[in-house]
């Protein structure tokens, strides 16, 4: 775990904070402003708890059972029962980075003071996260409405000293044992606290924030891949001129075109066929229209980032403690705003990957590759070259098209029809994570193939930036043209370069 800490106050945490805590192992602590506001709103809950009149979430049951008034002596059991029954997830474990992201985001909502939780419970939640204890959360259990209930309940269960967690070393341990080893005490929940811990969109939002960080890197990498393909296929860069893109003023499109111009600057390959002797009037759409498609995806990311920013600033619970001390039921836990953009991003990811795969395919067809050998093979017929790498990309693209089918339209009723319309935002987020991984791999196949094609254009020299990317691929242990060899490890080597941003670093350019 990192010794650095993110201070969680009354205001929203930043997307960068989410990434630092989720992926960088950064610790957390509650700010003094948060402790003060939590203390103030808890006094409201305590006053209502002593009232003979029933108040939802404080002295009643939950959901369709909200009409039952619960006596004081049964309320601790009520909170335990809520968490135990709602921690009903199933399936594979969710990735630790997702669990840490949703924990940070739930803590951020607790810190607003709008949930009515006790200060000591919020502090215990922060301590659980800071200690690097990651409760086991399962794939299935959230409908994205009334919060990501089962995932968040798994966290609350660990806070109570029940269930299982992964310790900082990744070892699976009983929660009570891991808490004791970290010097932490299990929490006995009081009125309202069960709901405060489980009623939020934190899981789907955490996955959205992580996906946005990935997609900003991947869409710039898509420009790198496209530039290498345009260059190695002897395409024209005239279509990337700034004045042409100004005629259609979408910001993402202009940024993508600017990247392509920078990446291809000084290319000897491009210079070899530029001028009156060039017969390339128009390239195929997968080359010519790369800025339009990559740009539309960039603008989709920015729209999703706007929604994520609003959600990061939200205080989601039901009921909430308002600034003027009212306890009010509401529907802010409905995940529609987040679910919609998660689905929108999956569409953009599928399309960017589909265009990348088409560029890869052009390299392998001697009728469309402008003089390159069939399948970029050393001895076509004896060798298959990159033939099956394209199959791999094509299979992933087909999967991405299925993942682009929206989850957010697939509502299903629950809780005796009390929760009769749900968002499925958690499921939209889960499939987007798979889609992001698929795009990473499709771009890696294109870059692997384009690097080989650039080598085959020798003695023509690529641009400095694209040549540096090609060199980074070679330095990662991926050989140049030659007889067939085991290709899967080479694909994985480039996947790692795409995933960690090394290829963008290699360009030494300030790309958009």
d(CA 138, CA 93): 5
pLDDT at 353: 99
What does pTM read for this prediction? 0.96
* Predicted confidence band of residue 337 (pLDDT cuts 50, 70, 90): very high
Task: Give yes or no: 340 in active site.
Answer: no
397-426: average pLDDT: 92
Q: What percent of the chain has pLDDT over 70?
A: 97
**Which pLDDT tens digit goes with each residue over 26-52?**
999 999 999 999 999 999 999 888 877
pLDDT at 125: 98
Give 7's DSSP letter: E
Q: Does domain 207-302+350-507 correspond to CATH entry 1.20.200.10?
A: yes
Do 255 and 295 form a contact (C-beta atoms < 8 A)? yes
d(CA 65, CA 54): 13
Which residues, 6+ apart, have CB-to-CB distance to 309 below 8 Å?
12, 15
**Ramachandran area for residue 485 (φ above 0: left; ψ -120 to 50: alpha; else beta):** beta
In a 3-state reduction of DSSP, which class is residue 5? strand
d(CA 155, CA 198): 9
Helix (H) or strand (E) holding 173: strand 172-174
* Predicted confidence band of residue 1 (pLDDT cuts 50, 70, 90): low
Which residues, 6+ apart, have CB-to-CB distance to 279 below 8 Å?
none
Higher-pLDDT residue of 172 and 60 is 172
Higher-pLDDT residue of 416 and 467 is 467
Which residues are bridge partners to 67 per DSSP? none
| 85, burial (CB in 10 Å: exposed 0-12, middle 13-18, buried 19+) | exposed
pLDDT at 420: 86
d(CA 304, CA 60): 37
pLDDT at 160: 98
- Nearest CA among 126, 322, 117, 104 for reference residue 205: 104
Backbone angles phi, psi at 92, to 5 degrees: -65, 160
* Predicted confidence band of residue 69 (pLDDT cuts 50, 70, 90): confident
pLDDT at 415: 82
d(CA 37, CA 122): 12
365-381: average pLDDT: 97
pLDDT at 416: 80
Strands 5-8 and 27-30: parallel
* Lookup result for tokens 């989850």: 407
What dotted CATH number matches 5-200?
1.10.275.10
pLDDT at 264: 98
Cα of 492 vs its chain's centroid, Å? 21
Q: Which residue out of 56, 125, 285, 340 is catalytically annotated?
A: 56
- The token pair at 62 is 């939950």
d(CA 354, CA 347): 11
pLDDT at 58: 78
Domain ranges of the chain: 5-200, 207-302+350-507
Intra-chain end-to-end CA distance of the chain, in Å:
32
pLDDT at 65: 61
Would you say how long the chain is, in residues?
512
Mean pLDDT of the chain: 95
**Which pLDDT tens digit goes with each residue over 118-132?**
999 999 999 999 999
pLDDT at 3: 76
89-105: average pLDDT: 98
pLDDT at 70: 74
Mutual angle of helices 202-232 and 290-312, in 10-degree steps: 160
Backbone angles phi, psi at 390, to 5 degrees: -65, -35
16-29: average pLDDT: 97
CB count, 10 Å around CB of 208? 29
d(CA 228, CA 234): 10
Which residues, 6+ apart, have CB-to-CB distance to 364 below 8 Å?
374, 375, 376, 385, 386, 387, 390, 449
pLDDT at 64: 55
- The token pair at 69 is 């008034």
**Which pLDDT tens digit goes with each residue over 276-302?**
766 677 899 999 999 999 999 999 999
Which residues are bridge partners to 7 per DSSP? 29
328-346: average pLDDT: 95
pLDDT at 62: 64
In a 3-state reduction of DSSP, which class is residue 189? coil
């Amino acid at each position: 775990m990192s010794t650095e800490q993110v201070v969680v106050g009354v205001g929203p945490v930043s997307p960068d904070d989410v990434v630092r805590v989720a992926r960088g192992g950064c610790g957390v602590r509650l700010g003094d402003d948060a402790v003060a506001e939590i203390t103030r709103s808890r006094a409201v809950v305590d006053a209502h708890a002593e009232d003979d009149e029933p108040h939802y979430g404080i002295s009643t049951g939950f959901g369709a059972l909200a009409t039952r008034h619960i006596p004081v002596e049964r309320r601790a059991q009520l909170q335990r029962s809520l968490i135990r029954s709602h921690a009903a997830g199933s399936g594979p474990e969710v990735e630790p980075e997702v669990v840490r992201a949703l924990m940070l985001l739930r803590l951020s909502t607790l810190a607003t003071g709008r949930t009515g939780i006790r200060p000591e419970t919020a502090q215990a939640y922060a301590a659980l996260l800071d200690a690097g204890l990651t409760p086991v959360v399962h794939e299935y259990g959230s409908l994205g409405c009334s919060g990501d209930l089962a995932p968040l309940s798994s966290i609350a269960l660990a806070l109570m000293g029940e269930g299982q967690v992964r310790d900082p070393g990744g070892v699976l341990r009983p929660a009570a044992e891991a808490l004791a080893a970290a010097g932490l005490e299990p929490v006995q929940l009081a009125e309202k606290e069960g709901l405060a811990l489980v009623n939020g969109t934190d899981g789907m939002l955490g996955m959205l924030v992580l996906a946005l960080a990935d997609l900003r890197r991947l869409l710039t990498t898509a420009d790198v891949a496209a530039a290498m393909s345009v260059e190695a296929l002897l395409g024209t860069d005239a279509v990337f001129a700034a004045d042409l893109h100004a005629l259609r003023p979408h910001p993402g499109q202009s940024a993508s075109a600017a990247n392509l111009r920078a990446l291809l600057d000084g290319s000897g390959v491009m210079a070899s066929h530029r001028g009156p002797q060039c017969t390339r009037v128009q390239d195929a759409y997968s080359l010519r229209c790369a800025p339009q498609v990559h740009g539309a995806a960039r603008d989709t990311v920015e729209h999703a980032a706007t929604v994520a920013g609003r959600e990061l600033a939200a205080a989601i619970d039901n009921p909430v403690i308002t600034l003027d001390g009212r306890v009010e039921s509401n529907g802010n836990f409905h995940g529609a705003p987040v679910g919609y953009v998660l689905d929108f991003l999956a569409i953009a990811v599928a399309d960017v990957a589909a265009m990348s795969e088409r560029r890869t395919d052009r390299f392998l067809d001697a009728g469309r590759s402008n003089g390159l050998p069939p399948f970029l093979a050393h001895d076509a017929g004896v060798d298959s070259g990159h033939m099956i790498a394209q199959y791999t990309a094509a299979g992933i693209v087909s999967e991405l098209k299925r993942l682009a089918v929206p989850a957010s339209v697939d509502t299903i009723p629950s809780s005796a029809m009390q929760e009769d319309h749900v968002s499925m935002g958690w499921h939209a987020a889960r499939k987007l994570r798979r889609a992001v991984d698929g795009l990473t791999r499709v771009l890696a196949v294109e870059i692997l193939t384009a690097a080989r094609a650039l080598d085959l254009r020798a003695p023509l020299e690529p641009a400095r930036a694209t040549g540096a990317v090609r060199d980074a691929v070679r330095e990662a242990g991926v050989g140049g043209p030659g007889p067939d060899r085991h290709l899967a490890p080479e694909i994985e080597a480039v996947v790692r370069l795409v995933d960690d941003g090394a290829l963008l670093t290699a360009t030494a350019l300030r790309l958009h």
